[in-house]
Structure 1
Amino acid sequence: MARQASEAGRVAEARQGPWLRRLHVVTGKGGTGKTTVASALALALATGGQRVLLTEVEGRQQIAQVFDTPPLAYRERRVASAPGGGEVYALAVDAEEALLEYLEMFYNLRGAGKVLGKIGAIDFATTIAPGVRDVLLTGKIKEAVNRPDGTRPSGLAYDAVVLDAPPTGRVTRFLNVAHEVAGLAKMGPIRSQADGVLKVLHSGQTAVHLVTLLEEMPVQETVDAVEELRAANLPVGAVVVNMIRPPMLGQADLTAARAGTLDLEELAAGIKETGVEPTAELVGELAREAAQHAERVALEAAQRIAVEALDRPVYELPLAADGMDMGMLYRFAEMLRAQRMVA
């Protein structure tokens, strides 16, 4: 029965995109640029007059670095405007602050919570009960997704929420912890919080997008994460292949370079046309570089096949050769819209 449910979920997910969701969870192996992609996605979603909240939960202040803004506090702050009058707000969700908010909301004990914080009790509690910590973090995200605002046309404070989530190796457990806690807490506020998180994650409002590079380890982690997410019946979204580098040689030259059969005389003639003396050493070095380039292109092609086998929509972003800045971030947002990752 569980397998049938999982297969049914996969059939449904294969038809999705562009991603008209309230919650976009972005994960990826460290170093793949998931925070950059999450930020570009938030800008893309905000384009056209939408209000979007971009959140992080790991305390690393990477969103602040991307937007070149002071460190984020546990308070939503506007960090960017989007074309068409849209706005991107950002929030660093902190477990201790989330617990204080939780104590105030359900027990009117925020003052007592601050005292507990001073003596280290809150840190102790969230350390020995990491499941509770993650429920508090995801609970804050859920609250932002559902928060009403009667002054806005949608009736909601945010048109979409983007979560810069933990990396692929931990994202399934992070998102599924509410299910584990719900099984332990049979009643009370913690159970209600866990149930609320599960409702958002499984209501069709959420998509978990994965960021990868065309390299063996990031692709393998992406494949493993998709399998784990599907096994947990969590909604797998798209795959964003980041840092794409186009081939610098045509297919015939790539084949010859990889086989070591490049026409060295033709290569020397090309060097001479640039005004440089084509010494044997220079020609040989360029031939070796061409061979290495051809090998990389072949490896990337193999990884692309593995990504496509996941049967998810795939979007691509180029390598920012000159580094990331706000201008490039807006360009990335435009590229995601052009590829119809968002409508």
Structure 2
Amino acid sequence: MTDWPKVRLHVVTGKGGTGKSTVAAALALALATEGKNVLLCEVEGRQGIARMFDVDPLPFEERRLTTGLPAHGGKPGVVHALHVDPESALLEYLSLYYKLGRAGRALDKFGVIEFATTIAPGVRDVLLTGKVFEAVQRNSRNKGATQYDAVVLDAPPTGRIVQFLNVSNELAGLAKVGPIKSQSDTMMTLFRSPRTAVHLVTVLEEMPVQETHDGITELRAVDLPVGGVVVNLVRPQDLTPEQLTGTAPERIAADLEGAGVDPDPDLVASLVTEGREHAERRALETSQRTLVGELDVPTYELPRLPQGVDLGGLYELAALLRDQGMA
């Protein structure tokens, strides 16, 4: 059972350095089970998907990426990927809605497309989110396109997520009427509906947890649906509370002797310092975990993988997300 059975669009955001792109990729793999088609989108121009899955840089075109996480002995689904850039999104928009095929490409050669997407950031975000909206809610204009059971968006960081998704408000001073205004209003009906969830990624440190709290407050203030919080890069807790407090030099020296190691004073001092730093880190993580628990949203935890995140690691994280009910 999943905590989000009605959600079609999973938006993943988080403070820089928390691993939101990794979580988005793992979530896409977790969702692509039992024959489901999932689209993993990125909009920040970093080609992060290509690096994580070790494939060539993605064009503005939906590409089959890999199979999803198998479940219950059934056939796994498929993860597709899409790298969205505003210039290509505008050309597609002109082609689909205004039939400006060659004319649109001519505008691109003269730099009009780049000018249009640079001069008005609100329009840029409408184009980026508009392509994601089109992937979720396919219509007859895009004939033959793949129908997806879910779309996962690797979105901008938490500090910009409200501005990015609240496109109708961002366009208020630019377009009062017309097709772009109409499209942005239609997109907001999806973004504010139960079919969308904005998930936030954090780590157990003060600034990311505080930014997560602020992000939830800002999302709710504009009626954007808050999903869950993924606590990423969690360190193992192999030591008991008693072991954490047992960092007296005499005890460490005795333990070294018991293990047949010479209790050199420099070695003992180094181990005492390391033990105390580890205990302080654990105390900080415990306090931040308590704050995360007070956010009143579903929470999930992913470990720090000692070998780093490769494709095998992504599948491991995907399995953990599914086991915890996120997918």
Shorter-chain TM-score category?
over 0.9
State the SS of the aligned residue for 1:69: coil
1:278 aligns with 2:278: no
Using the alignment, how far apart are the partners of 1:123 and 1:313 within structure 2?
Answer: 41
TM-score by length of 2: 0.92
Q: CA deviation at 1:50?
A: 0.5
Distance 1:19 1:313 in 2: 14
Query: Could you say what secondary structure the match of 2:131 adopts?
Result: helix
Unaligned runs of 5+ in 2: none
**Aligned residue number for residue 111 of structure 1:** 102
Counterpart of 2:208, as a letter, is: P
Q: Does structure 2 retain, via aligned residues, the 8 Å contact 1:148–1:157?
A: no
Separation (CA, whole Å) in 1 of partners of 2:111 and 2:258: 71
- Residue type of the partner of 1:74? F
- What pairs up with 1:256-295 in 2 under 5 angstroms? 256=245, 262-295=247-280
TM-score of the two chains, using structure 1 as the length reference: 0.88
Counterparts of 1:17-36 in structure 2 under 5 Å? 17-36=3-22
Cα distance, 1:71 vs structure 2: 0.6
Q: Distance in 1 between matches of 2:57 and 2:84?
A: 12
Distance 1:42 1:136 in 2: 22
3-state DSSP of counterpart to 1:78? strand
SS at match of 1:315: strand
Once residues 233 and 54 of structure 2 are traced to their aligned partners in structure 1, the CA distance between those partners, rounded to angstroms, is 21
Which residue in 1 is equivalent to 2:187? 197
Paired amino acid for 1:21:
V
- Please report how far the alpha carbon of residue 156 of structure 1 lies from its aligned counterpart in structure 2 after TM superposition: 7.4
Counterpart position of 1:313: 298
Q: How far apart are 1:247 and its partner, in Å?
A: 2.5
Letter in 1 for 2:163: R
Alignment-derived partner of residue 216 in structure 2? 226
1:221-259 Cα offsets, whole Å, 9 max, x none, are 1111111111111000000000001234211232x25xx
Which residues of 2 match residues 1-343 of structure 1 at below 5 A?
Answer: 17-82=3-68, 83=70, 84-147=75-138, 157-181=147-171, 184-254=174-244, 256=245, 262-342=247-327
Aligned 8 A contact 2:193 2:225 in 1: no
**Higher share in helix:** 1
Shift of 1:19: 4.9
Question: What is the letter of the counterpart of residue 224 of structure 1?
Answer: D
Kindly provide the CA deviation profile for residues 137-171 of structure 1, in whole angstroms up to 9, marking residues without a partner as x.
1111010001159xxxxx97000000000001101
- Name structure 1 gaps, 5 residues minimum: 1-15, 150-154
Other structure's SS at 1:323 match: coil
Q: Deviations over 1:263-286 (max 9, x none)?
A: 433312322344321111111110
Name the CA distance, whole Å, in 1 between partners of 2:279 and 2:6.
39
Is 2:230–2:301's contact at 8 Å kept on the other side of the alignment? yes
3-state SS of 1:163 partner:
strand
CA distance in 2, matches of 1:180, 1:36: 29
Amino acid at match of 1:321: P
CA distance in 2, matches of 1:148, 1:52: 17
Does the 8 Å CA contact 1:212/1:222 hold for their aligned counterparts? yes
Q: CA RMSD in A?
A: 1.8
3-state SS in 2 of match to 1:335:
helix
Amino acid in structure 2 at the alignment position of 1:233: D
Q: Is the 8 A contact 1:19 1:341 kept in 2?
A: no
CA distance in 1 between counterparts of 2:118 and 2:174 reads 18
Distance (whole Å) between structure 2 residues aligned to residue 222 and residue 275 of structure 1: 47
Distance 2:35 2:306 in 1: 31
Separation (CA, whole Å) in 2 of partners of 1:221 and 1:253: 32
Q: Does the 8 A contact of 1:106 with 1:189 survive in 2?
A: no
Of 103-112 and 237-246, more deviation after overlay is shown by 103-112
Number of residue pairs aligned between Structure 1 and Structure 2: 317
